[in-house]
Chain A
Amino acid sequence: MVFYKWDILGTPKFVKFLNFKKMFSDPTFWSSLAHTFYFTLLTVPPLVILAFLISVLINSRRVRGKDFLRTAFYLPYTLSISVVCLTWGMIYNPHFGIFAQIFKFFGAQPINWLGDSRWAMPAIALTTIWWTIGFNIVLYLAGLQQIPPSYYEAAELDGATGFQKMFYITIPLLKRVHALVTVLQILASLQIFGQVFIMTSGGPAGKTRVLLLYIYEKGFRYFKMGYAQTMAFFLFLTMIAFAYLQIRLMMGKER
């Protein structure tokens, strides 16, 4: 398909590499790609690190109410993207949203988060972090529960501090889980679409238009199927390396 000019009604026309040429000289393609990477950069580190810290907290022997904690942090992930984005659209409202209320309380001028070209993407990133961190927490908890308690007991006998146990037992033993969560998260973040579609439609001034949104616009609004698929193919290629890593991690060692 990437070699065809394919408008949904007409017959596909073979155009060789024209779609690729067009893509590489399309400034909107490059800016959409940059926005996608920006979003990935904003979301992956917090989603991995916070997920790990929260799982350690939930898994800690000293914490009571584990069921409630697990439910609380996973609950947002069970909500539909539309529910999340419509609710957060209200939370970001510059007149009566939660952040506006906090700003007003401190006597500051509320920011129009989603309408400000500097803040729109970080705002979308924050919503995404809140929404999806639960999945990573489940993966981390599954990993944490498989560390034999005897490791910690032995360390305690040797007089290890909590800090030492964390850095010499927990973090290194979860090496595979860290890698898996990171790779999965990169793949998920590169596929950002719905949050932008619902909350800003790519605005303000195209500052949050991500690659998948651009593909959707070209393919299903203007029906440039060949060109849209060329860009989708490009996105697919950037993801393949990460996906390959992920599969290697999931297959593990043969027994």
Chain B
Amino acid sequence: MKIKTLIITIIALGLAVVYLVPVIWMGLSSFMDEKDILASRWIPSRVHLENYKIVLHRAKISRWFTNSLITASLGTLGVLGVGIFAGYSLGRMRYPGRRILFFFALSGFMIPIQGIMIPLYLMLKRFGLVNNLLGLILPAWPSSLAVFVLSQFMREIPIEFEEAARMDGASELQILFKVILPMSLPAIITVTVFHFTAIWNDFLWPLIIMTSDDMYTLPVGLVTLAGSDVNIRYGPIMAANVIASLPIIIVYVFFQRYLTRGFIMEVK
């Protein structure tokens, strides 16, 4: 029994470490000069910080970082704003037509941004939101995933809590904010982490609507950086990769234990 535990654990940990090799390699390469990389070294012959200096100095990486941060934060806030009200309404309230509304809310899944990117682009162009951070933030707000996760989670909260609050004369909004919302924290964390990551990492949409390199987000900026300057080779690109990834990795490592708790999966 004990030995079996040990063996399975070793296999699992071994797999996980192999899985992380690309990330580890990225981190190590960011401290290497070109010679080390071309010689396929794994351990830098000396810690080479120039890569970070080059990237921070020459590229507009801090600008892109700010753009990404603003977009991801405001985008996620909007997602929560829409998702919490929609989730409460669809998950807990009883009224005719609720199921059809739920269907419409989820049908957002059916219309991926790719299917409507051209009309959406032309629309944003008309509103003057092309090459504008708002053009990234606003289209992110309606999220079927957020509505789904929040409504499923809120639905599982026992009705007694709500009834007790109603007895005390709480209004609908008070019930939502004082009773349901604090209890839905795991789902809110799940939605926040997912959407923050998704918006932070989105590639196609910023590529389409951002026309000047001042307005790029990190992912688009990184790719143009890799393609543009011949002096920026592997080492600096890996350094830029590390800079772009670190905030998300920190957020994730911090919240990862809550991530699965927010999901209510129907098992049958």
Chain A residues in the interface with B (C-beta under 8 A): 1, 54, 57-58, 60, 62-65, 67-83, 85-88, 90-91, 95-98, 100-101, 130, 138-139, 141-143, 145-147, 173-177, 187, 191, 193-194, 197-198, 212, 215-216, 219-220, 225, 228-229, 232-233, 235-236, 239-240, 243-244, 246-247, 250-254
Asked if A236 contacts B37 (CB within 8 A), the reply is no
Asked if B16 contacts A139 (CB within 8 A), the reply is no
A61 to B, closest residue via Cβ:
B5
Interface string of B96-110 (1 = CB under 8 A from A): 000100110011011
Asked if A177 contacts B241 (CB within 8 A), the reply is no
User: Is B265 in contact with chain A by the CB < 8 A criterion?
Assistant: yes
- Which of B4, B26, B197 contacts A62 (CB under 8 A)? B4
* Number of B residues, CB within 8 Å of A: 74
B107 to A, closest residue via Cβ:
A247
Asked if B260 contacts A69 (CB within 8 A), the reply is no
Docked pose: A235 CA to B220 CA in angstroms: 24
Across chains A and B, the number of contacting residue pairs, with CB separation under 8 Å, is 216
A15 to chain B, nearest CB (A): 16
- Which of A86, A146, A244, A246 contacts B267 (CB under 8 A)? A146
From known contacts A79-B201, A212-B114, A229-B119, infer whether A147 and B267 are also in contact, taking CB-CB under 8 Å: yes
17 A-B pairs with C-beta separation under 8 A = A63-B12, A68-B13, A73-B19, A76-B22, A81-B219, A86-B223, A91-B22, A96-B40, A141-B260, A143-B267, A176-B267, A176-B268, A225-B122, A232-B117, A236-B116, A250-B148, A254-B99
From known contacts A86-B241, A90-B234, A96-B39, infer whether A138 and B260 are also in contact, taking CB-CB under 8 Å: yes
Docked pose: A1 CA to B122 CA in angstroms: 11
Known: A74-B252, A75-B20, A216-B208. 13 other contacts (CB 8 A): A57-B8, A58-B12, A64-B5, A69-B13, A72-B17, A80-B203, A82-B222, A86-B238, A100-B40, A138-B263, A219-B117, A225-B122, A247-B109
Docked pose: A176 CA to B267 CA in angstroms: 7
From known contacts A87-B22, A101-B40, A193-B204, infer whether A80 and B222 are also in contact, taking CB-CB under 8 Å: yes
Asked if B241 contacts A83 (CB within 8 A), the reply is yes
User: Is B29 in contact with chain A by the CB < 8 A criterion?
Assistant: yes
Asked if B19 contacts A130 (CB within 8 A), the reply is yes
Docked pose: A231 CA to B245 CA in angstroms: 34
Residue numbers in A under 8 Å from B110 (CB-CB) = 239-240, 243-244, 247
From known contacts A90-B234, A225-B122, A247-B110, infer whether A83 and B267 are also in contact, taking CB-CB under 8 Å: no
A174 to B, closest residue via Cβ:
B267
Chain B residues in the interface with A (C-beta under 8 A): 4-5, 8-9, 11-13, 15-17, 19-23, 25-26, 29, 37-40, 99, 102-103, 106-107, 109-112, 114-119, 121-122, 148, 197, 200-201, 203-204, 207-208, 218-220, 222-223, 226, 234, 237-238, 241, 244-245, 248-249, 251-253, 256-257, 259-260, 263-268
B59 to chain A, nearest CB (A): 13
Asked if A82 contacts B265 (CB within 8 A), the reply is no
Main secondary structure on B side of the interface with A: helix
Docked pose: A54 CA to B237 CA in angstroms: 31
From known contacts A62-B5, A80-B201, A228-B118, infer whether A187 and B16 are also in contact, taking CB-CB under 8 Å: no
Asked if B19 contacts A233 (CB within 8 A), the reply is no
Asked if B13 contacts A65 (CB within 8 A), the reply is yes
- Which of B118, B237, B253, B263 contacts A1 (CB under 8 A)? B118
Asked if B16 contacts A193 (CB within 8 A), the reply is no
Asked if B268 contacts A175 (CB within 8 A), the reply is yes
Residue numbers in B under 8 Å from A247 (CB-CB) = 103, 106-107, 109-110
- Which of B107, B220, B237, B265 contacts A86 (CB under 8 A)? B237
Docked pose: A145 CA to B266 CA in angstroms: 11
Docked pose: A138 CA to B257 CA in angstroms: 11
Residue numbers in A under 8 Å from B208 (CB-CB) = 216, 220
B231 to chain A, nearest CB (A): 16
Residue numbers in B under 8 Å from A142 (CB-CB) = 260, 263-265
Residue numbers in B under 8 Å from A70 (CB-CB) = 256-257, 260
From known contacts A72-B16, A194-B204, A250-B148, infer whether A229 and B260 are also in contact, taking CB-CB under 8 Å: no
A203 to chain B, nearest CB (A): 14
Asked if A187 contacts B112 (CB within 8 A), the reply is yes
Docked pose: A86 CA to B239 CA in angstroms: 11
From known contacts A95-B38, A177-B265, A251-B103, infer whether A79 and B245 are also in contact, taking CB-CB under 8 Å: yes
Asked if B22 contacts A88 (CB within 8 A), the reply is yes
Asked if B197 contacts A78 (CB within 8 A), the reply is yes
A234 to B, closest residue via Cβ:
B115
Residue numbers in A under 8 Å from B251 (CB-CB) = 78
Docked pose: A229 CA to B264 CA in angstroms: 37
A50 to chain B, nearest CB (A): 10
Asked if B222 contacts A232 (CB within 8 A), the reply is no
From known contacts A139-B265, A225-B118, infer whether A96 and B37 are also in contact, taking CB-CB under 8 Å: yes
